[in-house]
Structures are given as structure tokens and as C-alpha cells.
Structure 1
Amino acid sequence: MKYKKIGDILILDNKYSDNNFDELSRKHNVKTIMKIDHIQGTKREPIYKILYGEETETIHRENGCLFKLDLSKVMWSKGNNNERLRIAKLVDDDETVLDMFAGIGYFSIPIGVHSNPKKIIPIEINPNSYHFLCENIRLNKLTNVTPILGDCMMKTPKFKADRILMGYVKTTHHYLKIAIDSLNKGGILHYHETVPEKLINTRPIERIKAQAGNRDVELLKINKIKRYAPGVEHVVIDALIN
């Protein structure tokens, strides 16, 4: 049986067979056991079933950060924890960071905790995720984070940034042009994509270059996050754009 523990809630995969949830809750010291079938829509809302307990709100601790969330309303991507810390350690003090598809602050909170940029601007479309984003800013006592509720397609062009995070997959490439247009000269783009293994070294960077127009694009790193599906990888492209 595979599982992941988020705060004091246990998430079982779809192949669970153990029905003794009371014993399982004591073993893992959790108040609730859930199954999340899938995440749907642009607002990344979970389709779930509660197997034990009632409460779905918890506080999860990761990399020295606190994340308050309700697993019946918002998603948690546990597989990206190393990437969240990697990005946080790249940010310089004088930077303005724009975090597209910010969720509950998966990237913005670690950046605020582990570095001290001039400004962090997370944009999130889901009101529930935005609520917990604001909660997590307060919970981690961050003063340089200005959250924005709205669609990245509409909100991103209102800002200019030195570093832009695009922590979303499947349709992220549709937002590349507005992200690049909002990136200052010499800025860094962190672009997430799910891509067939044979295209990892070509398709993501070609998509970036196609939307950059006359701007010069330098590939800094291709970082593999995790297997997304058979033969498909979730990768992050770090690109310097002048």
C-alpha cells in the first residue's frame, strides 16, 4: 500500500486494501485518512473520498516552512519538495519574483523563508488556494509577499520581474509569451512542462525560443522532477532571457 502523509492527514493511493483505518491512523499518528482520485480543472481542485475521520484541514511542515491547507479544497504536490527548495536557494536579494499558478504558496513561501528578495508576487486563480496562500504568508511571518487573486493570463502583464516561476503542467506553454513579456532583460524563467522523454532536450526550449521573439534565450538547466506517465517526464527548464 502506497501513501503520503501531509500534516496529520494520510493520503492513500487508489490500490489500498487495508480496511482497518483505526489501526492505520494510530500507526501514522493522523486524524484523517483520505483517497484523492484525481485533480481536475485549471483551479486544480481535488476529487476525493474520506475513509476515516472528518477534518481535512491541516498544517504541513516542509523544508522549514509551514503550509496550511484543506485537502478537500486544494491540491498538494509532495513530489516537488526538492524543486521548491532548489528554486528558493537561487533567488538573490535584489530580485522581484513573479510566481504564476502559485497555489497555496508552494514556491513563494520557501523563497520568502530561505531567501530575501525585494518582492515576491504570487498569482493564483482558485479562491480557496488564494485563501491559504494568504494564511501561509501570515503563518510564516513574511512581509515581502504580495498575493494576487486572478487569472495569470490577465494579471501577469501588469508586472515586471527578474525571475518568473511557471509551476504548472499540461497547458503551461500557452502562458509562455505573457511570462516572457513580463520578464526583465537578463531575467530567469523557470518553465514546467510534461514532455515525452525523447523530446526533453528539444521541445521545451524550442517552445520558449518561439515565444521569445528577438530576445536571446540561453538554456541554463533541464531539471527532471518526476515521472508523470509512462514515457513522460515532468521537467523544469531554467532559461536566461536577454
Structure 2
Amino acid sequence: MNLRNQLENKVPEHLLGNVPKRFDIIGDIAVVSIPYELDTYKFDIARAITAVHRNVKTILNKTNKVDGYKRTSDFKILFGNETITTHREHGFSYKFDVGKVFFNNRLSYERQRLIAKINPYEKILIPFCGVGPFAIPAAFYGFKAVAIEKNPEAFKWLQENVCLNKVKDSITLIQKDVTDISTFLNSYDFDRVIVPTPYGMDNILLYIAEFVKSKGFIHFYTFKPESEIPDFIDSAKTLGLETVYYRRCGNVAPGIIRWGIDFKKM
């Protein structure tokens, strides 16, 4: 039963269509985006969620979009009081404060897809690594990983998650701004680079491309209308990058799609 069916007797019929179709469960925390016209019914929505998902201990209402270099949103607690959770995915555990760092559980399939591509001899670079959902599997399945994260709060949890998942010996953590990568990273022989790019930072591909070896791979995420993808793929050719695969990874706004693109350096 979806939320709209549960709330038929609580929310007026003319507003029922505005009830969110979906919400995210991260660990034991539910995150929902309730439109302003349903503010009066936000606690009814929270009760409907807990009625079905009894393992949920906290419900957060996301009140704005992801913003800034920290890639965080603003939240209001509707139920419970604890915002720190442990999220489990593909055999790994990630502990963090949902209200203070960025984590996208909707990229779970993408992370699994990339895990399957990693070879045990590979040296892997992960900029914008957050709390580690791409970096920790890379360290576990690859030979050596280098993870870069600027946000102090995310970096703190990244350090904890490295220990939690027992990959400390196979990963190097760097707390710096990725846009300055050429000033602090002097290794240009990565077999694979995984770039969970923040919105509007496509230009980082220009800096990242030089760090992957010939015949190596870059897994790059970008946010665009479908009509702009051919030009973006063409522009990557000037960096010596051939597109071997790309796919939709969900809509982020009307007409704006998150794309996952696999490049091979020629």
C-alpha cells in the first residue's frame, strides 16, 4: 500500500495527488520531501510511514535541494530524534549523520555495477567520495584506492567507515578540494577513476582525465537533459576519452537526468 492510499481519509482529495510517491530509507531513517501545501498533514504522513516501516526510528522532511560544496540539504525532524545511522549495502556498512552529509541510496545499483568491474590489481581514484560508498568497495576489491573529500563532516565519517569495513591498509584518504587536485596528487597512473560529480561541476573532467593511464577507465556522473548528452560525449573526445557505455541514473528535476558515463582513455 502506498502513502496516498494510506492517507485517503486524512488528506483532502484535492491535495492527495501531492503526497510524495516515494521516500528513501537510509539505515533506520526515512527521508521524505513533503511539499509546502501539505505542511498541515506532515505528521499524518510520518505516521503513515512508520505504520508500514516499523524499523524506522527517525523521519526527516527534506526542505530544500542539495546545495553547496558539502552537498547537504536542510531537514526537519517529524518523528524520532536520532539522525546518525548505519546503512548497509552490498556487504559494506556506512555510518554517518544523515542531516549533515550527502548520501544517495538511489545509486546503490550503480555502485554494484562498478564493483563488478574492479580487478584486484587496480589502482583507483575516487574524488568527491563522501562517506565512502564508492571508495570503500574500491579499496576492498582493488589493489589500492585514493579517496578525496573536502567536507570535514563527511571526511570524519569516511575515516570511521574505513575502519568499520577493515580497508585501512588499502586506501589513502585526502581531505582537500578536488579542484586543486593537480597541486597535491602526483600520481598519473590510475587504472580507474570513479567520479560522483556534484551538480554543475562537469569541468572537473578536464582535470581528472590526466590522472588515468592509457586504456584506463573513468566512470563519470553528470546532470543534463538528454538532448545535451551527445555534445558532452563529443567534448570528452578532445580529452582522449572514448564513451563505452552510458545510462540514466534517475531524474533529479523536471527534464534533468543524472547520467552515468563510462569513458575509456585512448
Q: Answer with 139-148 or 8-17: which moved more.
A: 8-17
Aligned equivalents of 1:23, 1:54: Cα separation in 2? 18
Q: 1:78 aligns with which of 83, 105, 108?
A: 105
Distance 1:187 1:74 in 2: 30
Give how far 1:83 is off.
Answer: 0.3
1:51 paired with 2:83, answer: no
Map residues 19-38 of structure 1 onto 2, 5 A cutoff: 19-20=43-44, 21=46, 24-25=49-50, 27-28=52-53, 29-37=55-63, 38=65
CA RMSD of aligned residues (A): 1.9
Alpha-carbon distance between aligned partners in 2 of 1:131 and 1:183, rounded to the nearest angstrom = 27
Q: Which has the higher strand share?
A: 1
Deviates more, 1:124-133 or 1:156-165: 156-165
Structure 2: 5+ residue runs without aligned partners?
A: 4-21
Instruction: Give the counterpart of 1:150 among 170, 173, 176.
Output: 176
CA distance in structure 2 between the partners assigned to 1:164 and 1:53 by the alignment: 39
Q: How does 1:1-242 map to 2 (within 5 A)?
A: 1=3, 2-15=22-35, 17=41, 19-20=43-44, 21=46, 24-25=49-50, 27-28=52-53, 29-37=55-63, 38-113=65-140, 115=141, 117-142=142-167, 143-155=169-181, 158=185, 159-160=187-188, 161-200=190-229, 202-210=230-238, 212=239, 215=240, 217-242=241-266
Distance 2:216 2:75 in 1: 39
Take 2:139 and 2:144, find their aligned partners in 1: how far apart are those partners? Answer: 9
**What letter is aligned with 2:193?**
I
Q: Greater CA deviation, 14-23 or 152-161?
A: 14-23
**Contact 1:166/1:172 (8 A) holds in 2:** no
* Contact 1:99/1:166, CA 8 A, preserved across alignment: yes
Higher deviation after alignment, 45-54 or 8-17: 8-17
SS of residue matched to 2:81: coil
The sequence identity of aligned pairs, in percent, is 29
The one-character-per-residue Cα deviations of 1:63-116 (angstroms, maximum 9, x if unpaired) are 111011101110221211100111111111111100011011121123334x2x
SS in 2 for 1:180: helix
Q: What amino acid maps onto 2:154 in structure 1?
A: S
Query: Shift of residue 26 of structure 1?
Result: 5.8
Amino acid paired to 1:84:
R
State how far apart, in whole Å, the 2-side matches of 1:236 and 1:72 are: 26
SS of equivalent residue, structure 1 residue 72: coil
Q: TM-score, normalised by structure 2?
A: 0.82
* Separation of aligned partners in 1, 2:94 and 2:223: 25
Contact 2:219 2:260 in 1 (8 A): yes
**1:44 offset after TM fit, Å?**
0.7
Alignment partners' CA distance in 1, 2:60 and 2:79 = 7
Q: How many residues align?
A: 235
TM superposition shift of 1:184: 1.3
